[in-house]
């Protein structure tokens, strides 16, 4: 019976990590739609409900601490619990980035830089988080490496997008006043930066999953 209880607690931890991941991904998806449509109501909801993600983090953190303290796990179980704790830390930070994006939506004053495809970058970073969580739940080493490999493509897209924004600022005469233009530039560069960070957190999750599965820290950075 004690062993069954212990295993049920491990199963519950995995379920809770995956649930937190879905909550965070839903927030990220919603904030990208808000950015696309300049939907301030959705942006406000994302900003004001950030506490839900923080509370999930604290609840799961307590699960991990209790398992460490009361069960004294070893080997694979120890790596699983440690990886789970690290993964929820990354998920909490992705939730913070979604909140940032919600604020950028509220700050947007006009359409600018249509040649920068924020939605494409955002969709790719969401897929990285999704695939990293799948790798964690399915103990899939190939998926871990695949997520890490895609990070270079996201970084390249973010770099090109930032270059477009800066070049446009330097080379184009704008109808709006300079303060409005600078606000648009700043907001878009921050959006690009934060989406790139979402991708980085996807790699972190994949790295922790790989460590959990194979005791391999190759992807940890």
Q: In this predicted model, which residue has the larger pLDDT, 47 or 114?
A: 47
Residue 221 lies in a domain: no
Residue 219 lies in a domain: no
Residue 148 lies in a domain: yes
Q: Is residue 193 within 8 Å of residue 154, measured between CB atoms? A: no
Which tens digits make up the pLDDT trace of 39-97?
Answer: 999 999 999 999 999 999 999 999 999 999 888 888 899 999 999 999 999 999 999 99
State the chain's mean pLDDT as an integer.
91
Q: In this predicted model, which residue has the larger pLDDT, 179 or 90?
A: 90
Into how many domains does the chain fold? 1
For residue 16, give the CATH number of its domain: 1.20.58.220
Q: In this predicted model, which residue has the larger pLDDT, 138 or 71?
A: 138
Domain range for residue 40? Answer: 2-214
Residue 88 lies in a domain: yes
Which tens digits make up the pLDDT trace of 117-126?
Answer: 899 999 999 9
Q: Is the pLDDT score of 145 beyond 60?
A: yes
Which tens digits make up the pLDDT trace of 20-29?
Answer: 999 999 999 9
Q: Is the pLDDT score of 6 beyond 90?
A: no
133-137, 167-171, 204-208: which has the minimum mean pLDDT? 167-171
Q: In this predicted model, which residue has the larger pLDDT, 144 or 183?
A: 144
Residue 220 lies in a domain: no
Determine the pLDDT at residue 109.
61
Dihedral over Cα of 121, 126, 129, 133: its sign: negative
Residue 20 lies in a domain: yes
Residue 134 lies in a domain: yes
Query: Confidence class of residue 221 from pLDDT cuts 50, 70 and 90?
Result: confident
Q: Which of the given ranges, 163-167, 171-175, 202-206, has the highest pLDDT on average?
A: 202-206
Residue 163 lies in a domain: yes
User: In the chain, pLDDT over 90 holds for what percent of residues?
Assistant: 69
Determine the pLDDT at residue 110.
57
Determine the pLDDT at residue 58.
97
């Amino acid at each position: 019976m004690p062993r069954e209880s212990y295993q049920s607690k491990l199963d519950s931890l995995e379920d809770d990590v995956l649930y937190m991941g879905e909550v965070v991904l839903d927030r990220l998806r919603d904030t990208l739609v808000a950015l696309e449509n300049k939907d301030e109501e959705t942006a406000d909801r994302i900003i004001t409900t950030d506490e839900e993600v923080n509370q999930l983090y604290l609840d799961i953190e307590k699960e991990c601490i209790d398992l460490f303290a009361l069960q004294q796990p070893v080997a694979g179980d120890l790596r699983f619990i440690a990886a789970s704790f690290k993964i929820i830390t990354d998920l909490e930070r992705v939730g913070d980035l979604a909140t940032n994006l919600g604020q950028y939506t509220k700050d947007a004053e006009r359409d600018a830089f249509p040649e920068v495809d924020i939605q494409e970058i955002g969709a790719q970073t969401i897929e990285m988080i999704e695939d990293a969580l799948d790798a964690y739940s399915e103990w899939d080493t190939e998926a871990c490496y695949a997520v890490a490999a895609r990070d270079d493509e996201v970084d390249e897209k973010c770099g090109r997008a930032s270059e477009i924004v800066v070049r446009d600022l330097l080379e184009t005469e704008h109808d709006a006043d300079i303060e409005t233009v600078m606000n648009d530039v700043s907001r878009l560069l921050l959006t690009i930066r934060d989406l790139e960070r979402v991708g980085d957190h996807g790699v972190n999750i994949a790295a922790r999953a790989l460590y959990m599965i194979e005791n391999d820290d190759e992807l940890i950075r």
